[in-house]
């Protein structure tokens, strides 16, 4: 990274109160206040959100492609982990 | 007579937003960083919205059938009533942000007071503009402080910007008989009150930025009478060329 470049921040937007925050994208900013304002201008200037989070990208901990097998596959062949026998509102296990 | 005064007053409000919007629009694609490019043009669009409303209302008040476009594109330099400060060239990023801060602070207190106007259209437009101006002010106050307390170079640029722009600040508070009449009838807010609030806020932001208010600077005024600096003509030429070359064009 170019050393004169501002730090990277991840932006999360909440469409309305009570809904989960969703990742919108990322922006550059020199500090917290600027990160919030930039996030607003880039991702919510057309009324897309009612609340914003900005998080330094370095603070995000992510799983890696190597984790894929051990993390996610075991669920595939264990039908008893999926509550297919119940009707659950808003969930789709197909 | 009352309508003439109101027409003139709406031009003063609308023209400052229009010309400042045009100036900020010049940054489109030239911002120092993508995020700031979007921020400046975003403010520019808000200002354009304000200009459209005030000029539309000016046209209605005048009663000669002129709409926002007629007023924006078919008036000449001497008929414009925008603050001299608004037409000053963008210069570097520091000049643009300081100019924005100085005008924005005026607009912030103006709209706050104007939202109590006895003219219901003006009060509604002011209340709407006040919200977005609150955001603009937060944006540019932060930048004034950041640049003035940043590196040696950014600070020097802010000092230079202050030196070149301060002479146009008095023009924002120049009050004539027409405005005094509107203040008396409760349509326009008291200019002295706005000046006081402006002064206090500017001092607060400057003190956090370790900037001092320049003393004994000769103030250039004239926007109330349509006497502008040499920069407005060039700006208008660019802004008006298309509608004047192709009147009535639509796309």
Question: Which pair of structure tokens corresponds to residue B123?
Answer: 């009060």
Is B76 among the domain residues?
yes
Among chain B, residues having any CB pair with chain A shorter than 8 Å are 33-36, 38-39, 42, 135, 138-139, 142, 146
Is B86 among the domain residues?
yes
Is B215 among the domain residues?
yes
Number of H helices, E strands in chain A: 2, 3
pLDDT for A4-20, tens place per residue? 789 999 999 999 999 99
- pLDDT band for position A91 (50/70/90)? low
Supply the CATH number for residue B146's domain.
Answer: 1.20.1260.10
* Structural domains of chain B, count: 1
Domains annotated on chain A, with CATH = 8-81 (3.10.20.520)
Distance in angstroms (rounded) separating the CA atoms of residues B35 and B143? 13
Bridge partner residues of A9 (DSSP): A27, A56
Residues of A with Cβ-Cβ distance to B33 under 8 angstroms: 6, 28
Q: Which residue has the higher pLDDT, B101 or A75?
A: B101
Low-confidence residues of chain B: pLDDT under 70 = 1-2
Q: In what order do the strands lie in the sheet with A8-14?
A: A22-28, A8-14, A51-56
Residues of B with Cβ-Cβ distance to A40 under 8 angstroms: 135
Question: Which pair of structure tokens corresponds to residue A57?
Answer: 């990208």
Note whether B35 contacts A45, CB cutoff 8 Å: no
Bridge partner residues of A55 (DSSP): A10
> What is the predicted pLDDT for the residue at B7?
97
Confidence check: pLDDT of A94 > 60: no
> What is the predicted pLDDT for the residue at B228?
98
Q: How many CA atoms lie within 13 A of B106 on its CB side?
A: 22
Instruction: Please report which helix (H) or strand (E) contains residue A25, including its range.
Output: strand A22-28
* Domain range enclosing B195: 2-245
Contacts of B45 (CB under 8 A, 6+ apart): B21
- pLDDT band for position A88 (50/70/90)? low
pLDDT for B94-117, tens place per residue? 999 999 999 999 999 999 999 999
- pLDDT band for position A92 (50/70/90)? low
Confidence check: pLDDT of A75 > 70: no
Distance in angstroms (rounded) separating the CA atoms of residues B133 and B231? 25
Distance in angstroms (rounded) separating the CA atoms of residues B113 and B49? 19
Is B251 among the domain residues?
no
Note whether B33 contacts A6, CB cutoff 8 Å: yes
| ipTM value > 0.85 | no
Q: How many CA atoms lie within 13 A of A82 on its CB side?
A: 11
Question: Which pair of structure tokens corresponds to residue B84?
Answer: 């001299």
Note whether A28 contacts B142, CB cutoff 8 Å: no
């Amino acid at each position: 990274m170019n050393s004169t470049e501002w730090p990277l921040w991840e932006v999360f937007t909440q469409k309305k109160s009570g809904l989960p925050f969703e990742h919108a994208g990322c922006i550059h900013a020199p500090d917290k206040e600027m990160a919030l304002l930039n996030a607003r201008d880039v991702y919510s200037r057309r009324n897309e959100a009612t609340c914003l989070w900005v998080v330094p990208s370095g603070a995000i901990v992510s799983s890696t492609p190597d984790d894929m097998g051990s993390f996610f596959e075991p669920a595939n062949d264990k039908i008893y982990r999926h509550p297919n026998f119940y009707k659950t509102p808003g969930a789709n296990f197909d | 007579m009352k309508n003439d005064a109101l027409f003139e007053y709406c031009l003063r409000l609308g023209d400052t937003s229009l010309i400042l919007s045009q100036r900020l629009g010049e940054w489109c694609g030239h911002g120092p960083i993508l995020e700031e490019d979007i921020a400046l043009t975003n403010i520019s669009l808000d200002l354009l919205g304000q200009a459209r409303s005030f000029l539309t209302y000016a046209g209605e008040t005048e009663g000669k059938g002129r709409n926002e476009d007629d007023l924006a594109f078919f008036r000449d330099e001497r008929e414009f009533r925008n603050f001299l400060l608004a037409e000053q060239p963008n210069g570097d990023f520091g000049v643009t942000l300081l100019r924005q801060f100085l005008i924005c602070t005026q607009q912030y207190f103006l709209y706050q007071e104007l939202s109590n106007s006895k003219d219901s259209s003006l009060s509604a437009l002011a209340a709407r503009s006040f919200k977005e101006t609150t955001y603009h002010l937060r944006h540019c106050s932060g930048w004034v402080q950041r640049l003035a307390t940043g590196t040696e170079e950014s600070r020097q640029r802010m000092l230079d910007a202050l030196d070149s722009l301060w002479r146009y600040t008095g023009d924002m508070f120049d009050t004539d008989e027409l405005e005094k009449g509107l203040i008396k009838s409760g349509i326009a807010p008291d200019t002295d009150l706005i000046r006081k609030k402006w002064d206090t806020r500017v001092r607060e932001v400057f003190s956090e930025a370790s900037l001092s208010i320049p003393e004994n600077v000769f103030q250039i005024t004239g926007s109330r009478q349509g006497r502008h600096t040499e920069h407005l003509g060039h700006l208008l030429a660019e802004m008006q060329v298309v509608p004047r070359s192709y009147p009535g064009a639509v796309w």
